Amino acid sequence: MELTVSGLDADEAAGSALESVVVEEQESAANRVIDVPSQPIAAAKRALDIVLSAIGLVALAPLLLAILALIVVTSPGNPIFAQPRVGRGGVVFRMYKLRTMVRDAEARLGELAAFNEAQPPLFKMRRDPRVTLAGRFLRASSLDELLQLVNVLKGEMSLVGPRPPLPHEVATYTPTQARRLSTVPGLTGLWQVSGRSECPFERAIELDLAYIDDWSFWLDIRILLRTVLVVLRSDGAY
Confidence of residue 236 (pLDDT cuts 50, 70, 90): low
Residue 212 burial (10 A CB sphere; 0-12, 13-18, 19+): buried
For the entire predicted model, the pTM comes to 0.79
pLDDT at 144: 94
Q: What is the distance between the alpha carbons of residues 132 and 71, in angstroms, rounded to a whole number?
A: 9
Q: Looking at 114-123, 138-147, 202-211, which range is the least confident one? A: 114-123
Q: pLDDT tens, 63-118? A: 999 999 999 999 988 999 999 999 999 999 999 999 999 887 777 877 787 777 66
Instruction: Note whether 45 and 37 are within 8 A (CB).
Output: yes
Q: For the chain, give every domain's residue range.
A: 5-233
100: which residues sit within 8 A by CB, 6+ positions away?
81, 131, 132, 134, 135, 136, 138, 139, 144
